[in-house]
Amino acid sequence: MTTPGNPLLARSIRNRFPYVDPLNHVQVELLRRHRAGDTDPQVVDGIRHSINGIAAGLRNSG
C-alpha cells in the first residue's frame, strides 16, 4: 500500500500492520472453514469479530 502524498498516513498504516495482520490470517482461515461447510456458530462469530477488529484497527489510520 502506498500513500504518495501523505507520509504520515503511510507510517500510521505501516505501524498497524503487526496488529492487523494476525486478524487477517485468522479471518482467511475462518472463511475457508465456513466455505467448506463448517456451520459452527463460533466460526461465524469469529468471522464477524475479525471483520470488526480489522475495521477498528484501520479506522483511525488517516
Q: Could you give the CA distance from residue 9 to residue 35 in angstroms, rounded to a whole number?
A: 35
pLDDT confidence of residue 61: 55
Q: What is the pLDDT of residue 38?
A: 96
Spell out the per-residue pLDDT of the chain, length 62, in tens.
556 788 888 888 888 888 899 999 999 999 999 999 999 999 999 999 999 999 888 876 54
d(C-alpha 15, C-alpha 52), whole Å: 19
pLDDT at 57: 85
pLDDT at 2: 55
C-alpha–C-alpha distance, residues 59 and 54, integer Å: 8
